[in-house]
Amino acid sequence: MPASGRPRYRARFADGDRDLEAARRLRAEAFFPADPVAAMAEAAAADDYDARCLHVLVEEVATGRLVCCFRALLLESGAGIEGSYAAGFYGLERLRAFPAPMIELGRFCIRPGLGDPDILRVAWAELTRLVDRHGVEMLFGCSSFSGTDPAAHAGAFALLRDRHLGPDRWRPAMKAPRVVDFATLGADGAGSGLAGGSGSEEGPGGRMRAMAGMPGLLRTYLVMGGWVSDHAVVDAQMNTLHVFTGVELSRVPAARARRLRADAV
């Protein structure tokens, strides 16, 4: 919050086509900065999930400029998980047994060039309010690494494999035609097309370097006790490698939960 005490950003739900168009334009700018053709396609057309999701917009108070957005698909339980975006890439049969409300978080993006941590804080505060309002007990989604070359993310993938795999009872199965199987990685991140990795370097320095190479949203999930699938999906359309990510809210550290709810007041 600025020194004046006045909030710089506010969050609200999208209301109508104009808001959704603004969200798609921001997504295009964030996801396809070097591909104008793909950016135009993202900005011009909604996918099937846009109509089914709630869309959260974070705006600059002084100007109304959109600086962040994401969409949230509410599910009453795991029984409806086959209707999620992630189900198109992962075998989620085990998660059908999840007994409580869930939210699939998707298309999360911040306007390129903006590094103000208050943007993410306001976004998470709104998500916390949504979680509490609906009694949600799990967040899930796809955490995306830029590009489709697995060697560029060898260290991060090795760290995820060694420290952050999801529990067997929920862990997604492989479904997509092109994946990077973490089980085939060597101790240094080599294997399955991965070379020069450093994710399993001994000591905190190696782990910190690997963590720094992960998407910011995924780092936030992991700090909250989140877990990932045992493989990454090669998504050529979005030019990403992504991993399924789950956060069981009962496992969020108490101090982190208090901080989120304090921001949500």
- The mean-pLDDT minimum among 41-55, 80-94, 104-118 falls in 41-55
Report the predicted TM-score, pTM, of the whole model to 2 decimal places: 0.89
pLDDT at 2: 58
CA distance 97 to 56: 28
Question: What is the secondary structure of 128-184 as a DSSP string?
Answer: HHHHHHHT--EEEEEEEEESS-GGGGHHHHHHHHHH-BPPTTTPPEE-SSSEEEGGG
pLDDT band at 118 (very low <50, low <70, confident <90, very high): very high
Domain 9-264 sits in CATH at: 3.40.630.30
Residue 253, class by beta-carbon neighbours within 10 Å (0-12 exposed, 13-18 middle, 19+ buried)?
A: exposed
Least reliable range by pLDDT among 5-9, 59-63, 88-92, 198-202: 198-202
pLDDT (tens digit, 9 = 90+) per residue, 128-178? 999 999 999 999 999 999 999 999 999 999 999 999 999 999 999 999 999
At 106 the pLDDT is 95
Mean pLDDT of all residues belonging to the chain: 89
Give the pLDDT of residue 160. 96
Give the pLDDT band (50/70/90) at residue 60.
Answer: very high
Give domain limits for the chain. 9-264
Instruction: Dump the DSSP string for 109-133.
Output: EE-TT---HHHHHHHHHHHHHHHHH
Average pLDDT over residues 78-93: 97
Q: Please tell me the predicted confidence (pLDDT) of residue 207.
A: 75
- Per-residue confidence band for 24, with pLDDT thresholds at 50, 70 and 90: very high
At residue 190, the pLDDT reads: 54
Other Cβ atoms within 10 Å of 59 Cβ, number: 19
Q: For 184-221, how does the pLDDT look when each residue is reduced to its tens digit (9 = 90+)?
A: 886 655 554 443 334 445 455 667 788 888 988 899 99
Determine which of 29-33, 122-126, 202-206, 228-232 has the lowest per-residue pLDDT on average: 202-206
